[in-house]
Amino acid sequence: MTQTRAVSAHSDHVRMWMIERMVVVSFLLLIPAALVLENKFIDMILAGAIVIHTHWGLEAIALDYARPIVVGALVPKLVFLMLNILSVTTLAGLFVLIYNGPGLTKTIKNGWAIGKDK
């Protein structure tokens, strides 16, 4: 018997997993920096990281549960189309909040302040 590897160590899955880990680790710096600095540029980077992180998580769920062998060929295509639309509109909405509103982190701080005596 010979042992073979189904996936090489340098495949796209490994690279994608490393990118996902880098995005997650970036939250350790981005979130405190955004809360302290309240800068539009950092808010934009944080919004992008949040949306891409959420997109990848929902994409993994869709891959697990909307398999063509289970639900047919059309449903997975619709699920991924809706996921892409949801991700783009979420990012656009966050950018509108950042540019035309108080900003992402200021909105979060305002939410935390609800019910506190001033």
Binding residues for heme b: 53
d(CA 37, CA 46): 12
Binding residue ranges: 53, 65
Question: Which amino acid is located at 67 in the chain?
Answer: R
Binding residue ranges for a ubiquinone: 65
d(CA 111, CA 115): 9
In the numeric block, the tokens 């010979």 are attached to: 2
